[in-house]
């Protein structure tokens, strides 16, 4: 750079850089702009930095193929003039019905020439509630042309109201007689259809239970035996060279006897088997199986052509108390009219009954007693000290097979419900939720652990899974798998019930609706 150029372009800096000093603020042209030194270095443009785009991200967020512009739809061109749409022509029928007649010249509205202050020749009555701005006015009331009172009209009879005098009294009497005949015939037909002729079941039987009478003094065992024995029977089932014995009790004067299912199951499953009933006076008659329930180990027999039957008096489970005296009556080991005495040891004891050559598969909510019960007592009554049946003896628990003071009877409330259903319909339905469980006791819970859940069962639909521990069903606490069966059978079919489970250490309430088995 020459001295002339330095003089022309400006002074140099004193910082040793050798660059011209363009900060002196002296303009070099008429516009006042500072001129760029001729030897000033020119910098190249900064390169554009484009970060590398991941191929996967580009496929997801990149511009679609074939798209050059924005992603949005191309705005449509505006119409130069708005489209005018005309209403469709009026339907000819509607126009004829509601249109103005062709020869009419008046309008439905008041002509604009009529003033608000000029109501016309008939101003009408004054109305204090009238809106002064309303265009509607009240006219004069319509007066009757004939002011004379009309004579009272005669009252119409029922025949005239219903038939307009077109039906004669004789025809009405015939219709009434025909309706009566139809009603009588229909009633007889219903009676024939619903009758129990030729069937062992009956809908006319109702079992009654008697409440405890606190005013009756406690009787002795001898008096109880004398009152109960006439209603207790011995039952013998034979098939070829096989036979079995048991007991039963008469519960209805029509010849119905209740016993255990395992006593008569051989006869129920084999047509060649015979059932014989021996009464207290020694009378022996054949019996037929009316119905049986393998889930409660109960069965009903029926006998015919037996007069003067003594019917046992049935008590109520709610009156039974632990520690009260009881008497067991039956035919243990074939010894009829056997009476033993004991007390009620416990209530609501879940007890499983199965096996021993029978199809019984039951869990009963038993009445436990220490009264001596042996094979052959099954089906006989357990009665309180006032002679009322409070249970049906069904099982014992013993390592030797004989009585050790652990006998179990089906509660009378369950007997009444099941037997009544067997007499009416020949079968009994029970509620089920569709789970198999095993008893479990650990630090977390004590109850019935779900081993498996049946497909499309109420439990599966409610959300119960394997491993859940059921600890309560409704108001009944569950501590074992047998108690779960008892608790479920105590519910109503198709009625939701709260099932409490332990899952992962937490209590969970689930609504389950039991279904019929």
What average pLDDT does range 322-326 have in this prediction? 93
pLDDT, residue 3, reads 44
pLDDT, residue 137, reads 63
pLDDT, residue 493, reads 93
Q: How many CB atoms lie within 10 A of CB 302?
A: 20
State the pLDDT confidence band at 38, using cuts at 50, 70 and 90: confident
Does 480 have pLDDT greater than 60? yes
What average pLDDT does range 52-73 have in this prediction? 75
Does 326 have pLDDT greater than 90? yes
Tell me: the pLDDT tens digits for 261-276? 999 988 888 888 899 9
Domains of the chain, residue spans: 220-428, 431-516
What's the CA gap between 390 and 316, in Å, rounded? 6
pLDDT, residue 153, reads 74
Q: How many CB atoms lie within 10 A of CB 101?
A: 7
What's the CA gap between 273 and 238, in Å, rounded? 6
Q: Which letter does DSSP use for residue 333 in this model?
A: G
Cβ density class 208-237: b for 16+ within 10 Å, e for less = ebeebeeeeeebeeeebbebbebbbbbbbb
For 259, the token pair is 């016993």
- Catalytic residue of the set 378, 394, 403, 414: 378
pLDDT, residue 7, reads 43
Q: Is 490 exposed, middle or buried (0-12, 13-18, 19+ CB in 10 A)?
A: middle
3-state secondary structure of 360: coil
Domain 431-516 sits in CATH at 2.30.42.10
Does 161 have pLDDT greater than 90? no
What average pLDDT does range 68-74 have in this prediction? 62
pLDDT, residue 220, reads 77
Least confident among 82-86, 363-367, 379-383, 399-403 = 82-86
Evaluate the CA torsion angle 260, 261, 266, 270 in order and state its sign: positive
**Cα 293 to the chain's mean position, in Å?**
25
pLDDT, residue 156, reads 67
- DSSP string of 230-262? GGEEEEEEEETTEEEEEEEEEEETTTEEEE-HH
**What average pLDDT does the structure give for the chain?**
80
Is 297 annotated as catalytic? yes
Evaluate the CA torsion angle 369, 374, 379, 385 in order and state its sign: negative
What's the CA gap between 261 and 297, in Å, rounded? 5
Higher pLDDT, 203 or 198: 203
Q: Which residues 6+ apart lie within 8 Å of 458 measured at CB?
A: 432, 433, 434, 512, 513, 514, 515
- Catalytic residue of the set 262, 336, 370, 394: 262
State the pLDDT confidence band at 72, using cuts at 50, 70 and 90: low
Tell me: the pLDDT tens digits for 207-262? 666 665 555 455 578 899 899 999 999 999 998 888 889 999 999 988 999 999 99
Is 68 annotated as catalytic? no
pLDDT, residue 101, reads 75
What's the CA gap between 439 and 451, in Å, rounded? 10
Tell me the fold of 220-428: Thrombin, subunit H (2.40.10)
Per-range mean pLDDT, top range of 112-121, 202-211, 302-311, 477-486: 477-486
What's the CA gap between 249 and 410, in Å, rounded? 13
Q: Which residues 6+ apart lie within 8 Å of 497 measured at CB?
A: 473, 474, 491, 511, 512, 513, 514
Q: Which letter does DSSP use for residue 332 in this model?
A: G
- With beta carbons less than 8 A apart as the criterion, state whether 392 and 249 touch: yes
Tell me: the pLDDT tens digits for 3-36? 444 444 444 444 444 544 544 445 555 555 567 7
Q: Which residues 6+ apart lie within 8 Å of 51 measured at CB?
A: none
What average pLDDT does range 303-308 have in this prediction? 87
| Tokens 């608790």 sit on residue | 487
- Catalytic residue of the set 247, 252, 265, 297: 297
What average pLDDT does range 394-416 have in this prediction? 87
């Amino acid at each position: 750079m020459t001295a002339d150029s330095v003089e022309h372009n400006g002074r140099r800096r004193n910082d040793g850089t050798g660059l011209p000093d363009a900060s002196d603020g002296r303009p070099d042209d008429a516009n006042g702009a500072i001129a760029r030194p001729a030897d000033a270095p020119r910098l190249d443009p900064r390169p554009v930095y484009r970060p590398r785009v991941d191929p996967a991200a580009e496929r997801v967020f990149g511009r679609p193929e074939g798209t050059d512009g924005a992603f949005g739809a191309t705005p449509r061109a505006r119409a130069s003039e708005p489209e005018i749409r005309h209403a469709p022509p009026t339907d000819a029928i509607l126009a004829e019905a509601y249109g103005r007649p062709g020869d009419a010249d008046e309008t439905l509205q008041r002509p604009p020439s009529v003033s608000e202050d000029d109501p016309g020749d008939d101003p009408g009555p004054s109305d204090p509630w009238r809106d002064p701005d309303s265009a509607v006015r009240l006219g004069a009331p319509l007066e009757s042309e004939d002011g004379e009172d009309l004579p009272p009209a005669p009252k119409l009879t029922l025949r005239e109201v219903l038939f307009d005098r077109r039906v004669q009294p004789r025809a009405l009497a015939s219709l009434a007689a025909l309706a009566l005949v139809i009603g009588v015939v229909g009633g007889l037909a219903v009676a024939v259809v619903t009758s129990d002729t030729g069937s062992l079941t009956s809908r006319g039987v109702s079992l009654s239970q008697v409440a405890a009478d606190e005013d009756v003094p406690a009787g002795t065992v001898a008096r109880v035996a004398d009152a109960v024995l006439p209603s207790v029977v011995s039952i013998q089932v034979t098939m070829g060279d096989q036979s079995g014995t048991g007991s039963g009790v008469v519960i209805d004067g029509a010849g119905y006897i209740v016993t255990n299912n395992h006593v008569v199951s051989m006869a129920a499953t084999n047509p060649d088997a015979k059932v014989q009933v021996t009464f207290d006076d020694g009378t022996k008659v054949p019996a037929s199986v009316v119905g049986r329930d393998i889930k409660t180990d109960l069965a009903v027999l029926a006998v015919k052509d037996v007069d003067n039957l003594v019917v046992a008096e049935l008590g109520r489970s709610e009156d039974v108390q632990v520690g009260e005296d009881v008497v067991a009556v039956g035919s243990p080991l074939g010894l009829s009219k056997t009476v033993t005495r004991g007390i009620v040891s416990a209530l609501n004891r879940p007890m499983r009954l199965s096996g021993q050559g029978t199809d019984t598969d039951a869990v009963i909510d038993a009445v436990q007693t220490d009264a001596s019960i042996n094979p052959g007592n099954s089906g006989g009554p357990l009665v309180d000290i006032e002679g009322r049946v409070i249970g049906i003896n069904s099982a014992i628990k013993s390592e030797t097979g004989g009585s050790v003071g652990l006998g179990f009877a089906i509660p009378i409330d369950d007997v009444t419900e099941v037997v009544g259903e067997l007499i009416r319909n020949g079968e009994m339905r029970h509620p089920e939720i569709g789970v198999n469980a095993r008893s479990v006791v650990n630090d977390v819970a004590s109850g019935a652990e779900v081993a498996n859940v049946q497909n499309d069962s109420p439990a599966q639909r409610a959300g119960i899974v394997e491993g859940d521990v059921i600890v309560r069903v409704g108001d009944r606490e569950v501590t074992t798998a047998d108690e779960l069966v008892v608790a479920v059978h105590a519910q109503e079919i198709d009625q939701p019930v709260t099932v409490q489970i332990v899952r992962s250490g937490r209590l969970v309430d689930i609504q389950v609706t039991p279904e019929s088995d």
